[in-house]
Amino acid sequence: MRLGAGAAAAGDAAKVTWLEPAKLRAAPNPVAPSDTVRFASIGTGVRGCEDLKTALSCPGTEMVATCDLYDGRLIAAQEVAQKQLPTTKDYRAILDRKDVDAVIVATPDHWHAKIVEDACAAGKDVYCEKPMSHTVEDGFAMVAAAQRHNRIVQVGSQRRSGIVYAKAREILASGALGQVTAIEAWIDRNDASGAWQYPIPPDANEKTIDWNQFLGSARKRPFDASRFFRWRCFQEYGEGLPGDLYVHLLTGVLTITGINAPPARALSTGGLFRWKDGRDVPDLIWTLYEYPDFRVAMRCNLNNESPADVTRVFGTKATLEVRGETLTVTPQDTRPQPESYSIFGWPEKLRNEYLKEWRSQHREPGPGQYSVVEEAQTFQAPPGYEDQIDHMNNFLESVRTRRPSVEDAVFGNHTAIACHMANYSYFNKTVATWDEADKAIKG
């Protein structure tokens, strides 16, 4: 932003710049056969099938096996892979296979830690879906497992690799926004699917689903298809809106600001107002986060649709907004102006003297010396751009080169902790404080 001292009008039509698709960190195409990453999927529900499709669209991959607890999903995975694969309902059989280099873990969140730890111990690299952890303790155990076994563990928050967020980061780091003290971000929905009321397949029963394995370390209960397919609604398996959606917003915020740490404090409010279907998580949550240099207001509402996910960064020189795959930077007009409002209460004589003095110190620019407030600039990802492809390619490249992942377990742990803090504050009706020494949330 080149803001000048003069006073000419600014145009308000935004310039649009198409962002170049990222220069993939991945090895060039075609990948040498010896660099082929042989992977298996653990959990092939909605996201697991998307992930395996994404992985297969990346150069130098081969899918060798698949694991899920429901027969229908073992079929679905093979349909997406377009080939017959060895299948199992026991993920340990996948980890025993010598032909598996890496696993994609897309199970419900309460299973992430155990499977990731076992996979690391078995010498596999891991792409683990977001949010990385179900509890704070899980997260640190996962970080330790990745380090102990020297494994690539990448968390699947694809904004971390997105070109729009990379551009936003570059703009903030350039100083163009000035001092950033406030950020707001939200994802809002208004439909049954958005509120996780997914349909239950008609063949769902204890013969087609390994219910006990689904429960894992969670409380034992009789078979309940609703819990199996709508697990996000229950704290035993998910983390409600923070674990499902805040984590994407937080990944964006931390990527743009270059922060890799938990927030100092979090304060949430919200409630379960509408989707009273037996769930034990809210359908509206609002959280204020304290990071050292800025504050964040975050919201997810399942009771009103917002056309796009939005992250807005407020700087002293400009406002940056990411709306879907579009980034707009709107400069603030910070050119000096004589005070007007606060001198209304002055006697006319003093007011006129003040204005005279101000004008003598702020000379009118001469001809040709006017400068303008730059117009808003918009940056747009190309049509069809998918950040998840960049994210998966980044993972595959880390597997091949052993270069650290763009979203390693440490970063994934930090965004997950922020989700847990939002829930801690909501459920305990208190401010959640991060205790770095104890690696724990305190009330």
Ligand X SMILES: NC(=O)c1ccc[n+]([C@@H]2O[C@H](COP(=O)([O-])OP(=O)(O)OC[C@H]3O[C@@H](n4cnc5c(N)ncnc54)[C@H](O)[C@@H]3O)[C@@H](O)[C@H]2O)c1
What residues between 114 and 133 interact with ligand X by CB under 6 A?
129-130
Count of residues binding ligand X (CB under 6 A)?
26
Give 216 or 365: the residue with its C-beta nearer to ligand X: 216
What residues between 232 and 271 interact with ligand X by CB under 6 A?
244
Sheet holding 318-323, edge to edge: 15-18, 377-380, 326-331, 318-323, 310-315, 180-188, 294-301, 284-291, 265-271, 432-435, 440-442
Give 130 or 414: the residue with its C-beta nearer to ligand X: 130
**With CB under 6 A as the contact rule, which of the stretches 42-50, 168-176, 305-313, 324-332 interacts with ligand X?**
42-50
3-state secondary structure at position 313 = strand
156 scored as a contact of ligand X (CB under 6 A): yes
For residue 89, the minimal CB distance to ligand X (Å) is: 7
Give 89 or 295: the residue with its C-beta nearer to ligand X: 89
Give 172 or 298: the residue with its C-beta nearer to ligand X: 298
217 scored as a contact of ligand X (CB under 6 A): no
Give the phi and the psi of residue 166 in degrees, each rounded to 5: -65, -40
Best CA proximity match to 243, nearest among 47, 409, 109 = 109
The angle formed by the CA atoms of residues 240, 387 and 122, to the nearest 5 degrees, is 70
Task: Count CA within 13 A, CB hemisphere, residue 342.
Answer: 4
Residue closest to ligand X (Cβ): 45
213 scored as a contact of ligand X (CB under 6 A): yes
Dihedral sign (CA 312, 196, 158, 236) = positive
Q: How would DSSP label each residue in 47-114?
A: HHHHHHHHHHHSSSEEEEEEE-SBHHHHHHHHHHHTS---EES-HHHHHT-TT-SEEEE-S-GGGHHH
What residues between 54 and 73 interact with ligand X by CB under 6 A?
67-70, 73
For residue 441, the minimal CB distance to ligand X (Å) is: 20
Beta-ladder partners of 65: 40
**Using the rule CB under 6 A, which residue among 109, 118, 283, 309 binds ligand X?**
109
Count of CB atoms within 10 A of residue 265's CB?
18
**With CB under 6 A as the contact rule, which of the stretches 30-38, 41-49, 56-64, 362-370 interacts with ligand X?**
41-49
Give 118 or 374: the residue with its C-beta nearer to ligand X: 118
**With CB under 6 A as the contact rule, which of the stretches 44-52, 54-62, 253-261, 272-280 interacts with ligand X?**
44-52
- Binding residues (CB under 6 A) for ligand X: these are 42-43, 45-48, 67-70, 73, 91, 106-109, 111, 129-130, 156, 158, 213-214, 216, 231, 244
